[in-house]
Amino acid sequence: MTAVILDGRALAKTIAEEIANEVAEFKQERSFAPAIAVLRVGEDPASVSYAKMIRRSFEKAEMEFELHALPETAGEGELLALVTDLNADEDVHGIMIQEPLPQGIRPEVIIEAMSPDKDVDGVHPANAGRLAQVAPAGRPPGVSGYFVPATPAGGMEILRRHAVELKGKRAVVVGRSNIVGKPMALLLLRENATVTICHSRTVNLDAVCREADILCAGAGRAQMIKGDWIKPGAVVIDFGFNRLGDKWVGDVDFEAAKEVAGMITPVPGGTGSMTNVMLMKNVLEAARRQMAR
């Protein structure tokens, strides 16, 4: 079998166009655009290039982008004051705090200072908690609005747009971070999959992976998941983004896996391409919610 390649890049382009249309409508109604403020302390190269990528995609969709880049020497108090200002600023609908933060700044203190209504990265405990509490699909919501981290939201969107049935399916998520594995597991659970979460202490990881109809990898270990760990016909969503020699690879050994899987995301060009557009979607949604109040 040769798997269907789930082209996240093409899908992200389609979604970016959809968002640009929705933004144009929003602007017509409101005469301003949804806006994100990105906060950074220091010049971590990955954060710098991620912020540039966010700026490019926001500007293309005619959404507002502002960067607050504080010097490496900035303290927790300075960053907290900035977050407080942005919480109160009606022209800012979404806030994203880039990590890593320098030593001496406690990420949890900064994150918890952010208004959950503007936490478009879905990292505030109120948003994570609401995702954990949310009712399964088809039941009354029972939980107020929340934001989901963009990367797992992108993985779910790939599954949804390819009409992958999740109800009753066995899903395995490798990785339990707060921005990838855990929210992905909760989102799959919300869609009525039966979910197993694996991590670095999981015993017989290969055997657990082999049980998966839907296998999601977010471990950050280059090509750790081998072709013979995959159940024939499984859908594989690879969040991994790892440097191997001179190229970027996922957590899944793509060449071997695509001969076994039914569908698979490539790296690059799979889940990574989706993250940005899901962040844009969250900012548009934040602006709508704030206006509805």
- Chain positions 76 to 95 lying near ligand NAP, rule: CB under 6 A, are none
Is 198 among the residues that bind ligand NAP (CB under 6 A)? yes
The two structure tokens encoding residue 156: 């779910």
User: 115 or 177, CB closer to ligand NAP?
Assistant: 177
Is 293 among the residues that bind ligand NAP (CB under 6 A)? no
Range in contact with ligand NAP (rule: CB under 6 A) among 16-24, 70-78, 186-194, 270-278: 270-278
Is 272 among the residues that bind ligand NAP (CB under 6 A)? yes
Is 278 among the residues that bind ligand NAP (CB under 6 A)? no
The two structure tokens encoding residue 79: 């960053």
- CA 211 – CA 189 distance, rounded (Å): 16
- CA 35 – CA 116 distance, rounded (Å): 16
User: 116 or 240, CB closer to ligand NAP?
Assistant: 240
- Non-local CB neighbours of 68 within 8 Å, separated by 6+ positions: 37, 38, 39, 40, 82, 86
User: Collapsing DSSP states into helix, strand and coil, what is residue 45?
Assistant: helix
Q: How far is the CB of 174 from ligand NAP (least distance, A)?
A: 5
User: 78 or 125, CB closer to ligand NAP?
Assistant: 125
**Which residue from 15, 19, 36, 180 is in contact with ligand NAP, where contact means CB under 6 A?**
180
User: 120 or 180, CB closer to ligand NAP?
Assistant: 180
The two structure tokens encoding residue 123: 């990292």
Go through 95-121 and write b for each residue having 16 or more CB atoms within 10 A of its CB, e for each that does not.
Answer: bbbbbebbeebeeeebbebbbbbbbbb
Is 98 among the residues that bind ligand NAP (CB under 6 A)? no
- CA 218 – CA 239 distance, rounded (Å): 5
For ligand NAP, the binding residues (CB under 6 A) are 151, 174-177, 179-181, 198-202, 205, 218-221, 224, 239-242, 271-272, 275
